[in-house]
Amino acid sequence: MKPTVTDKSGKKNQKSSKQKGSASRPSSPSPSPSSPSPSSSPTPKKAAESSSIPHVVSSSGSGPGSFFNKKLQFWKLHIPNEVVFDEVHFGKFASYYLQGKYFFDLHPPFAKLALAFVAWCAGYDGHYLFDNIGDRYKDHGVPYVSIRSWPALLSSFVPPLVFLIMKESGYELPACLVSACLVLFDNAHVTEGRLILLDATLIFSMVAAVYCYVRFFKLRHSPFSRAWWSWLFLTGICLSCTISTKYVGTFTFLSIGLSVCLELWYLWDIKTGLPIKQFASHFLARFFCLIVFPFALYLFWFFLHFKFLPTSGPGDSFMSLQFQETLDENPITANATGLNYYDIVTIKHMGTNSFLHSHPDKYPIPYDDGRISSGGQQVTGYPFEDDNNYWMVLPHNHYADPKYKPNMPVRNTDYIKLHHVGTNTDLMTHDVASPYHPTNEEFTTTSVDESAGAKHDFTVFQIMINDETAPDRKVFTKSMSFKLIHKLTNVAMWSDPKPLPDWGFKQQEINGAKNIQTGAILWMFDDIIGLPEERVNKEKRVPKKLSFFKKYLELQLVMFRQNNLLTESHPYSSTPLDWFTLHHGIAFWAKNEENKQIYLLGNPIGWWLIGGIVITTTVVASAEILLHQRGIVTLLPSVRNHFYRSIMFFYATYMFHYLPFFLMGRQLFLHHYLPAQVAGAMLCGAFIQLACMKSFHLPVSPGAKQPNDVDSHGYAKSLRRNGYIIQVLTSLGLISVLSYCFVFFAPMTYGNASLSVPEWLRRKWLDSWIFQYQK
Amino acid sequence: MGKSTPSALQSEKQKRNIRDVELSRPRKFFTSRDFGIVLLLSVVAFAVRVQRLMNPSKVVFEELRYVNYAVDYASNKFVMDVYPPLGKLLLSFGLTFMNSNPDLTKVSHPGQEFPSFETARSLRLIIAAFGSLLIPLMYGNVYLSSNSKMAAFMASVFAIFDNGLITMSRYVMIEIPTLFFMGLTSFFWMYYENQQKYPFALKWHISLLYTGISLGLTISTKLSGLFTLFWILVLALFHLWNLIGDLTVPITRIIRYGFNYTFYLIGVPMVVYLGIFAVHSKLAYKSNIYDSFLTPEYKYSLEGNDFGEEYADVAYGSLVTIRNAIPEHGYLHSNELVYPEGTKQQIISLVDHPNQNTLWIIEHENAADNDRKKIELLKDGSIVRLRHIMTGRALHSHDHRPLVSNHDWQLEVSGYGGFGFEGDGNDLFRIQILDRPSRHASSNGTVEAFNTYFRLIHVFTNCELMTSHRRLPDWGQDHREVTCCRNCIERSTTWVIESNFHDAMPSDARKTNYRKPSFFEKFIEANKLMWLKDRKMGDGHEFESHALTWPFLLGPLRFMSDQNLQVYFMGNPVVWYSVVSLIVFFALVMLFFAARWNMGYNDCGPKFYHHSYNIGKFALAWFIHWAPYILETDRVFLYHYLPALYFGIMALGVGWAFVGNVIFEHRPAFSFVTAAFITLMFGVYYLYSPFTFMTPLTQSSCQSLELKGSWNFRCNSYMESLSQYNSGIVNPIFYEEAAPHPFVYNGPAENSHSDVPLKENLAVYYPAWDAQVEMGYKIAAEEKAAMEAKEAASAEAASMSSDETSRSEPSD
């Protein structure tokens, strides 16, 4: 929302500065003689923080926060010494990286690679797979404290960064402290940040991206300077890390992206006076640094991902056969055999793992609903080994020239016939509706005589290897999937898992689908029956190569597809509305005998405060917009400007990280709210300053023109008397309540203390928080 | 307000708000000449829509559902659907109105010959009538927004000859009635916009009231009417926004506007919606097959339900059936089957209908306390053992993962023990009464049949008995799975007692039944069901298509193929492509002028704003009625685009008026161009009409009509020449399957139906049970004696851990 209503005041300022004939790029101190230069002596109550040009940040401000946070994050890191909640997954992935075994996960690889790297540095070899929640690390010799220290380290940088963002955005010390403490004393952040999970990396990179972007935005009056380029570039890196950790990073992209778009729209404005050429370079700089470069970096992690996972592992089954063939020790390459004509094979459907099957029983001529079948022999899918799964591959002209030619390989795009060995018939299809799908063609078989004569055309199929167009490529078993296209009617052999009625022995329906592009029509030659010894391949096969981009695209598609399948209900999943009110948490780990547990729960006071302030901001902003349309001035132009550029930016960041979850169909958990919570914390600090002081210290960005409506100390003229004192008192009160509440809920954050039942009950503020304890 | 108000502030207002939309355009509408044109157009439309109306006289696609609904309503049976009731009510009214003695036979599958020709024809005629009424509405909408008769005429003709609109107007589905109400809403709103000269006058109020009523009718027909509501609200807010910016309008007046909008555009539709539901529940009061998803309370309020009165108080020793609180989940059940792997103990599951296998007896923790002559009521916190009466096993849970829901937070639930073997501590469950859904007659904390909702908490592992949303595979007869879940707060952990019998209960003991819900409770429940079902309808349909492909008409939808003839739902390509081109062009123009404006050019006069508002509001309607389907991937079909198309044609009409006004400046050439455009459109309509009216076509001309590969008309099923159509060779019939009905349970049938009617004969089970228990104890005692004798003989051969033996599965 930053430059939303790139309000008239801003434009006017620019205009007036031009009219006054001062430099159009106002890098010099403000020309107005009445206002003091920014470096003039500050009033004592502002203390050291707001002393000088805002982008020089005193290190004293971030010092204590940082120290406390490290203390909070690292405190009792070795407890619990057991596997906690999703450590099951992410610890396991680290082990797979160290073993080099291919695995599949929904999240991009960056944070997992980092965890694996840390584990490797700690001397861990990845022998243990983090099987169950509650397993003892000591029994398995895992350096879990070292691994946990990495997320804890990243996580402890978050509150200082929040502090710096607020500082850089021009807020007073109390506001910065409130924002930082809302994150610092937040039980959910601490819980998530000290275990082997991805959220610490995610939130750190998100906050870092916002920080870099704020620094970059402040330099808009000296574009293309070295600092400008660096911060822009750093924003890109942080954004890339965010999205390479989890896909919710997209929301960070959107929040910053919207702001960038509005900024560009502002630059395009006639009153800005940029020549088209310069506008183009502005555009290209952002395009390259915020889109092209981050994407390249994102791909780089995938490159490393494939590099470090060369061996076949538990993730094989998610990938295509082609992909699996690129892995070391994969069972497919080892068993693949070239297919010759007159081989007897079994043919397996890729989606349902059923074999192409036929038996002497016929389709019933009228179906139950009165439609008519051909009454031919049934062709079905059957998932178990059976003699009726045997088919002989014949050349299409076999009956015209019935001579057995040995060792003639089947090649891609060949026309073939499939001969059912058990019933001595040939596979065919024709324009008769299949049992369940009136739009699809029925598959049946026909006698050898007819296949040689009248029905010849109906029995000819073409083999099309998936993703392979070269016609001379030999067909192998196991390692290739193919489509079987009917030559005459151009349908593909397809199967549907819905079982046929009793007349079909509950086997699967097989029919001809008109759509020959979907994935459900892929089949695979599984085994050659009675394969002669000399054709069995003995030498060790070398894994095949596949270009990186093909691998990446495939993995990306599988990730999206799997993500959409995650719809099953989970007892700890929650809805976005629950997060807003902290309706319930997640039981991470529990030790019933000792009445210890880790329960993911935010600092209730902090979360409810953020919720309240989000609602209030919505009301205030809508009211302001309505009144402004009516021509009623409620905020001074400079304050209004700051409100829409900074406070509404935090607001938009919050909304971008929160609202999209309402549209998602998959399972959601409380920790999905954490990025929004950080944005909410910043909004809180900013809003409290607006409410208490009704003013900001302006201008924030170096080089910006001094607004007309600020007083001699650089504050907007609407400054409330004693506003600063009110703010200090409010903030102190808030911080003490927050820290008390944090300590109160700390036992379930660290899982270190055994509390008695009444003590647990005292912490159960809402009935929906389910703690585990034994009476 | 308005332009014509003489005021000193007039010029200031114009300066401030140059973008203010000129809403006041007093215009005389419906002169007799207009009336003649509109009447003519409607007659033509009706004639087009009813030609060969009963061809085919077979059930087409989703007609299956709506014909049955109409028949159900006509015989006062309860109907539940994902759409609100108005559309079906109208069909049913039409049915009884147009036939003095309607044939109320239901149809069973698409492609079936209609049982009664007259009934089917009357239903199709109603739809055709609605379809023809779309035309005057189109004329009125375009005329009121563009003030151009030529444009209004053109848009109406486009709507008459769009093959898509025609096809949908011929079959019994509720898309067209919905569309009619949408058009009506839009018409009244446009009429309202023309009343701005005399705000708050009677006509002003009436036009707004009519807008509200027709909005209500739209929403009561199909929930996609909410898109229309949203659209109208956006337009109203836009108007308010302009008023706020107009300093000549006093604040009080703006508030008055806001109040009126809220009342007419939100309040009135809500009342209408409620009213339609009231009619629905007055008319459909008999129990029907659709009630399997209803709560039992709702079911109980329907005539012909099968709930009888039961004793209110539940005590130890009571014989009960236990139902899950989720209505369609059914009754706690067990039989002799065992889990095929793992513990191999007896399966516990849920079935949909009570039978003797769903009977459980409530026992004390200690067998010694069981005394069937005494009545000790169940309370909150009572510890119980639930014993299955037919097999004697107790409900049991233990630290094993279930076979189907193999998660670490779930535990297996099984039947354990047997006649003569009491079982162990893992059989014990604690009753926790939930205050929320429970409706106690007495507030002493006892369990009451029907009214007390409770959880069953396993005492040892502290987990809650629940149903997962999955079904067991073949080995579990496809019943619903029962597991025990730690920390689940879902509704599936809530249970209620339904049948309740105790032989020591005095005959005058208090009896109870479900409480009949009030109208509002029923209303809320029906709406909840509608929303939830609408969101997850489950199985996809083969011919659903993605919304992004609709505007470009990528894949026609085949409704039917019969005797070498076919029906396709497809639009008139000229109409569809003109609409989408206009909208894209309009969006580009807007973007272009916005960029120009930001660059400092202000080259758009009031005339431009006026026209772009009028095109823009219909373009917005197009977008609002189309875009939400992009997010929806389940069960969306090409014909869901029709509302967007209808508004798109309006936008096209207004855009055409703009072209006539600005480019041609009303020269005669404009009429010629318009005529040429209409001729082109009509020609294309004629070419594609065989797919619409199911008329003969040759294979070669079919192939020449296939402009895009993706259209894929099955040309092979046509004859090679037209003369062959008389020779009587027919292909087998193909039809499109209708989607499975969302509110009819079509899972596996129960395979353990009892011969004994359960309700009347609960007492039968008690003596049988006693005999079995006695026999069981006798056998157990004999076995024990034999065992002891054996043990004495082997004389401490090995030191068996007595723990282990008592924990292991008893042999039976």
Per residue in A197-243, pLDDT (tens digit) is: 899 999 999 999 999 999 999 999 888 999 999 999 999 999 999 99
> In angstroms, rounded to a whole number, what is the distance separating the alpha carbons of residues A493 and B692?
31
Contact between A270 and B598 using a beta-carbon 8 Å cutoff: yes
Q: What confidence tens digit (pLDDT) does each residue in B314-359 have?
A: 888 888 889 988 877 888 999 888 888 878 889 999 988 888 888 8
Res B20: pLDDT: 39
Residues on A contacting B at a C-beta cutoff of 8 Å = 132-133, 265, 268-271, 369-372, 431-433, 437-439, 514, 568-569, 571-572, 584, 587, 626, 629-631, 663, 768, 770, 772, 774
B641 min Cα distance to partner chain A (Å): 22
CB contact under 8 A, B599 and A270: yes
Which of A269, A433, A572 lies closest to B598 in CB terms?
A: A269
Burial label, B600 (beta-carbon count in 10 A; 0-12, 13-18, 19+): exposed
**How confident is the model over B22-73, as pLDDT tens digits?**
443 445 556 777 888 999 999 999 999 999 888 888 888 888 889 989 989 9
pLDDT, tens only, A3-43 = 333 333 333 333 333 333 333 333 333 333 333 333 333 33
Percent of chain B with pLDDT over 70: 85
Average pLDDT, chain A: 82
If you measure CA to CA, which chain B residue comes closest to A374?
Answer: B732
Contacts of B727 (CB under 8 A, 6+ apart): none
Residue B322's nearest CA partner among B418, B421, B389 is B389
Note the pLDDT tens digit of each residue in B777-792.
777 788 888 888 888 8
- Alpha-carbon A608 to chain mean position: 27
- Report CB contact under 8 Å: A770, B489: yes
Residue of A nearest to B407 (CA): A570
Instruction: State how far the alpha carbon of A544 is from the alpha carbons of A325, A411, A533, B67, in Å.
Output: 6, 19, 25, 59
* Closest partner CB to B487 (pick from A270, A371, A571): A571
Average pLDDT over residues A136-163: 88
Q: Which of A630, A659, A766 best tests the B interface by mutation, with the highest count of B CBs <10 A? A: A630
Within 8 A of A439 by CB-CB distance, chain B residues are: 542-543, 558, 734, 736
Structure tokens at A98: 């160290």
Model confidence at B678, pLDDT cuts 50, 70, 90, reads very high
Q: Which residue has the higher pLDDT, A281 or B473?
A: A281
pLDDT in tens, A718-763: 888 888 999 999 999 999 999 999 999 988 888 888 888 888 888 8
**Nearest neighbour of B469 by CB, restricted to A271, A569, A631:** A569
Better pLDDT: B582 or A58: B582
Whether B550 contacts B638, CB under 8 Å: yes
Higher pLDDT, B807 or B556: B556
Using the predicted structure, report yes or no on whether residue A709 has a pLDDT greater than 60: yes
pLDDT at B518 over 80: yes
| Residue of chain A nearest B631, judged by CA positions | A663
Query: Does position B120 have pLDDT exceeding 70, yes or no?
Result: yes
Q: What is the pLDDT of residue B15?
A: 42
B537's CB contacts (< 8 A; 6+ apart) are B82, B634, B635, B739, B742
| A81 confidence band (pLDDT: 50, 70, 90) | confident
Pairwise CB contact (< 8 Å): A629 & B732 = no
Q: What is the per-residue pLDDT for B544?
A: 73
Which phi and psi (to 5°) does residue B454 adopt?
A: -145, 165
Residue range B164-192: mean pLDDT, rounded: 94
The answer, yes or no, to whether residue A46 has pLDDT greater than 60, is no
- To test the contact with chain A by mutation, choose from B58, B251, B489, B535 the residue with the greatest count of A C-beta atoms within 10 A, namely B489
CB atoms within 10 A of CB B617: 25
What secondary structure, in 3-state letters, does A268-324 show?
HCHHHCCCHHHHHHHHHHHHHHHHHHHHHHHHHHHHHHHHHCCECCCCHHHCCHHHH
What does the block give as tokens for A139? 């029994």
Nearest to A330 by CA among A549, A479, A468, A466: A479
Determine the pLDDT at residue A370: 59
Grouping H, G, I as helix, E, B as strand and the rest as coil, residue A98 is: helix
Residue of B59, B113, B244, B561 for testing the chain A interface, max A β-carbons within 10 Å: B244
The whole-number pLDDT of residue B807 equals: 41
Q: Which domains, and CATH codes, for chain A?
A: 1-24+566-775 (no CATH), 338-530 (2.80.10.50)
Q: Name the residue among B244, B486, B600 with its Cβ closest to that of A629.
A: B244
Residue of A nearest to B601 (CA): A270
Alpha carbon distance B296, B281 (integer Å): 16
Query: How far B651 CA lies from chain A's nearest CA (Å)?
Result: 29
What is the per-residue pLDDT for A283? 94
Least confident of A150-159, A395-404, A522-531, B240-249: A395-404
In this predicted structure, what is the pLDDT of residue A518? 65
Mean pLDDT value of segment A564-575: 72
The pLDDT tens digits for A234-269 are 999 999 999 999 988 999 999 999 999 999 998 888
Which one of B598, B715, B717, B737 would you mutate to disrupt binding with A, by most A Cβ within 10 Å of its Cβ?
Answer: B598
Whether the CB of B485 is below 8 Å from some CB of chain A: the reply is: yes
Q: What is the pTM of this model?
A: 0.78
Measured between CA atoms, the residue of chain B closest to residue A513 is: B542
**Contact indicator for B342, B411 with CB cutoff of 8 Å:** no
**Chain B residues with beta carbon closer than 8 angstroms to that of A372:** 732
pLDDT at A85 exceeding the cut of 80: no
Share of chain A above pLDDT 90, in %: 31
Q: Which residue of A has its CA nearest to B489?
A: A571
SS3 sequence of B135-152: HHHHHHHHHHHHCCHHHH
Distance from CA of A566 to the nearest CA of B (A): 14
Is the pLDDT reported for residue A509 higher than 90? no
Residue range B702-714: average pLDDT?
Answer: 81
Give the model's confidence band at A479: pLDDT under 50 very low, under 70 low, under 90 confident, else very high. confident
Structural domains in chain B, sorted by start: 38-283+542-693 (no CATH), 308-513 (2.80.10.50)
Residue A666 to chain B, least CA–CA distance (Å): 13
C-alpha span between B696 and A482 (Å, rounded) = 39
In the structure, what pLDDT confidence band is assigned to residue B806 with cuts at 50, 70 and 90? very low
The CA distance from A563 to the nearest CA of chain B, in Å, is 15
Predicted confidence band at B730 (pLDDT cuts at 50, 70, 90)? low
- Please tell me the predicted confidence (pLDDT) of residue B752: 42
| DSSP reduced 3-state for B17 | coil
pLDDT digits (tens, 9 = 90+) for A284-320: 999 999 999 999 999 999 999 999 988 888 888 788 8
In the predicted model, what is the mean pLDDT of chain B?
Answer: 82
Q: What is the pLDDT of residue B105?
A: 84
Contact: A432, B716; criterion CB under 8 Å: no
- Reported ipTM: the value is 0.73
